[in-house]
Structure 1
Amino acid sequence: MRAPGAALLAGLALAACQAEERPVVEVFRPEYRGVETRLLEGDLVEFRVAMAGARDGQDVLDYAECAAAQYALIRGFGFARQVRTNVSEEGGVWRADAIYTVSPAVPRGLRTIDAEVAVENCRERGIPTV
């Protein structure tokens, strides 16, 4: 007869074996590979960014947001709003194709960005802007 805790330990061991293995980035050393900016129409702007050394897709999303915030300031606007972003990774290089609106006043929507605050946050985090 097995001890009552043995079944629990066996179950935990089996679950651990079945857990999805994901590579772990122990030291975050991002390599920002540039931003391509394209005015689409009116207040819509497309940003294509690429980076290596990202921990996950959020790092490249943050890079795109920093580019959008700086672009808004350069154009004399105080705000941006994310419309959509597509993220992909191939061979360790993460890419984001993001579209934002830029505006002088807080735009309607959920993903609004105060450009000045965002750019300062980007600088503090070491993320380059446009």
Structure 2
Amino acid sequence: MWRSACPLIALIALTACEESSPQAEAPFAPQYQGVETRLLDGDLVSFLVSMRGARDTGDLENYAECAAAQYALIRGYGFARHLRTNVSEEGGLWRGDAVYTISAALPRGLKTIDAEVVAAACAENGIPMV
């Protein structure tokens, strides 16, 4: 009986010796490359953003949202509504073309943002704005 338990005991002992701490991920260190704003028509605005070090498309979309929030505030509006964002990545450079409408009142739709709230969150998270 002892001989049949030896392999199991050896496996448990080896497992216990393995390092139990999770591997540390590389820290998130984005490099924001700038925002180009294009007024398309009245309250319709395009934000061309680029960055390096994005973890995924969400990081680039957040950058564009920050630009839209600040732009709305600069223009004297309190809200924006996201219409679309096209994202591409090549050689580590992420680019996005996001289109928003800006307005003084809360617009209809599901993807609306309160410009003051979003701008404050962007400042707190170190995401640059327009």
Question: What's the TM-score bracket when you normalise by the shorter of the two chains?
Answer: 0.7 to 0.9
Counterpart residue identity of residue 77, structure 1: Y
CA distance in 2, matches of 1:46, 1:76: 17
Shift of 1:27: 1.2
SS in 1 for 2:108: coil
Cα shift readout 1:52-71 (whole Å, capped 9, x = no counterpart): 01111100000000000000
Tell me, yes or no, if structure 1 residue 46 matches structure 2 residue 43. Answer: no
Q: If you compute each CA radius of gyration, which structure gives the higher value, 1 or 2?
A: 2
Q: Report 1:21-32 matches (<5 A).
A: 26-32=26-32
SS of structure 2 residue aligned to 1:72: helix
Identify the residue that residue 21 of structure 1 maps to in structure 2.
none
Root mean square deviation of aligned Cα: 1.2
Aligned residues with identical type, % of pairs? 69
Q: Deviations over 1:63-112 (max 9, x none)?
A: 00000000000000000000111011000011110000000000000000
**TM-score, scaled relative to structure 1:** 0.80
Query: Which letter does structure 1 place at the counterpart of 2:79?
Result: F
SS at match of 2:27: coil
Q: Give the total of aligned pairs.
A: 107
The runs of at least 4 aligned residues of structure 1 exceeding 2 Å deviation read: none
Counterpart in 1 of 2:56? 56
Gaps of 5+ in 2: 1-24
1:26 CA displacement: 1.6
What residue in structure 2 maps to residue 15 of structure 1? none
- Answering whether residue 118 of structure 2 is matched by residue 97 of structure 1, we say no
TM-score normalised per structure 2: 0.80
Residue segments in structure 1 that go unaligned for 5+ positions in a row: 1-24
